[in-house]
């Protein structure tokens, strides 16, 4: 989930009469250094903020443009500097502190991060969003004083050896009609434990299944109807996560099939569980699943 940032009070901001956060900059950090994103810049706007995604510093205009520090390179043929991508939120409404402004865009950031984490079943998210800097101005300086401003953060760079292969990927835009509520957050945290090696696939899949069945309706049939996921999907998750498993992954040691999951069974559990999490975020956004397409077993085939 979203990387937490420790906010500290800035002495210069504390003396301002009426501080206003003009923008926050978030750096998109690939979780794999071999990944490089190539993306056309894009913009999004709400009644509270505008978002610009592009190369570092591109979304900051005027006198407060962000400047990146670039290291000296001994031999330009051996090394290449990659320009990082940044998401710049410029605020229409007043927020007096970085933390307050961060909380205002947290829903967008969390949805973006979770949507990315669910795109490739069984794999960790390809990038993280980290706060890179801000601009805060004083909208009511004391009489006789000039308006003051505080710029935090700085430029960044990544130096890649020329021989390192690069995997260029398209960067997904922030999702719409997708909200990370407490249900989606709880499910993702449990699933993330599996992705990080702290849980087995059957245990994580079964935990997510039973959470949905207990939270969204009293029972499997009602939960399936409320989320518009066929009961066959939920039954198959239950069977594969409970009745199959070897000595390292089995949830129960009884009369179940004592064997490892096949690649197809593993793929189904990963795809079905991430689909289940995604559907809870979609329902959180629009209030119910009646207008969403029903998800059947045949929709979750891998490959």
Tens of pLDDT, residue by residue over 104-132, are 999 999 999 999 889 888 888 888 888 98
Q: Which residue has the higher pLDDT, 203 or 141?
A: 203
Residue 257 has pLDDT above 90, yes or no: no
* Eight-class DSSP state of 149: E
CA 302 to chain centre: 23
> Residues 195, 163: one domain?
no
Residues 191, 109 share a domain: no
If asked whether residues 163 and 203 sit together in one domain, one would say no
- In which residue are the tokens 């967008």 written? 108
Q: Is the pLDDT of residue 78 over 50?
A: no
Among residues 169, 202, 225, which one ends one of the domains? 169
CA distance linking residue 168 with residue 162, whole number of Å: 15
Q: Are 86 and 58 in contact (CB under 8 A)?
A: yes
Q: Give the pTM.
A: 0.80
| Same domain flag for 234 and 95 | no
Domain housing 261: 182-300
Q: Which of 121-130, 164-173, 236-245 has the lowest mean pLDDT?
A: 164-173
Structurally, the chain folds into a number of domains equal to 2
Taking CA atoms, 21 is separated from 186, 216, 282, in Å, by 31, 39, 31
Is residue 121 domain-resident? yes
- Cβ atoms < 10 Å from Cβ of 227: 23
| pLDDT score at 124 | 83
pLDDT band at 5 (very low <50, low <70, confident <90, very high): confident
What's the pLDDT score for residue 254? 66
Verify that 120 and 207 share a domain, yes or no: no
| Domain contains 274 | yes
> Does residue 174 belong to any structural domain of this protein?
no
**Tokens 């795809």 appear where?**
271
In 56-200, DSSP assigns E strands to 79-82, 85-91, 127-138, 149-153, 158-161, 167-169
Verify that 209 and 131 share a domain, yes or no. Answer: no
Beta-bridged to residue 52, according to DSSP, are 43, 88
CA dihedral 264, 267, 271, 276 (to 10 degrees): 80
- Residue-averaged pLDDT of the chain: 83
Q: Please indicate, yes or no, if residue 1 is contained in any of the structural domains.
A: no
**Measured distance CA(185)–CA(107) in Å, rounded:** 11
| 155 within some domain | yes
Same-domain status, 228 and 97: no
Residues 87 and 136 in one domain: yes
Does 177 reside within a domain?
Answer: no
d(CA 129, CA 44): 17
211 and 156 in one domain?
no
In a domain, 225, yes or no: yes
């Amino acid at each position: 989930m979203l990387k937490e940032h420790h906010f500290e009070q800035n002495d210069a901001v504390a003396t301002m009469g009426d501080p206003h956060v003009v923008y926050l900059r978030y750096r998109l950090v690939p979780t794999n250094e071999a990944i490089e994103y190539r993306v056309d810049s894009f913009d999004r706007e709400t009644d509270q903020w505008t978002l610009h995604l592009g190369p570092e510093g591109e979304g900051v205009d005027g006198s407060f443009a962000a400047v990146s520090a670039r290291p000296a390179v001994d031999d330009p043929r051996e090394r290449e500097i990659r320009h990082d991508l940044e998401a710049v939120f410029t605020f229409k409404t007043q927020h007096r502190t970085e933390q307050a402004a961060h909380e205002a865009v947290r829903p967008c950031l969390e949805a973006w991060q979770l949507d990315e984490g669910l795109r490739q079943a069984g794999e960790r998210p390809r990038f993280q969003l980290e706060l890179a800097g801000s601009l805060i101005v004083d909208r009511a300086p004391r009489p006789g004083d000039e308006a003051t401003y505080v710029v935090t953060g700085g430029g960044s760079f990544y130096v890649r050896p020329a021989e390192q292969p690069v995997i260029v990927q398209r960067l997904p835009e922030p999702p719409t009609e997708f909200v990370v509520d407490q249900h989606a957050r709880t499910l993702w945290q449990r699933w993330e434990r599996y992705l990080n090696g702290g849980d087995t696939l059957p245990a994580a899949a079964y935990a997510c299944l039973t959470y949905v069945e207990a939270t969204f309706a009293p029972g499997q049939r009602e939960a399936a109807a409320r989320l518009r996921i066929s009961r066959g999907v939920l039954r198959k998750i239950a069977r594969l996560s409970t009745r199959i498993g070897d000595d390292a992954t089995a949830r129960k040691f009884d009369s179940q099939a004592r064997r490892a999951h096949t690649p197809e069974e593993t793929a189904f559990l990963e795809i079905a569980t991430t689909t289940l999490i995604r559907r809870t975020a979609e329902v959180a956004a629009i209030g119910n699943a009646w207008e969403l397409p029903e998800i059947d077993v045949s929709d979750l085939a891998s490959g």
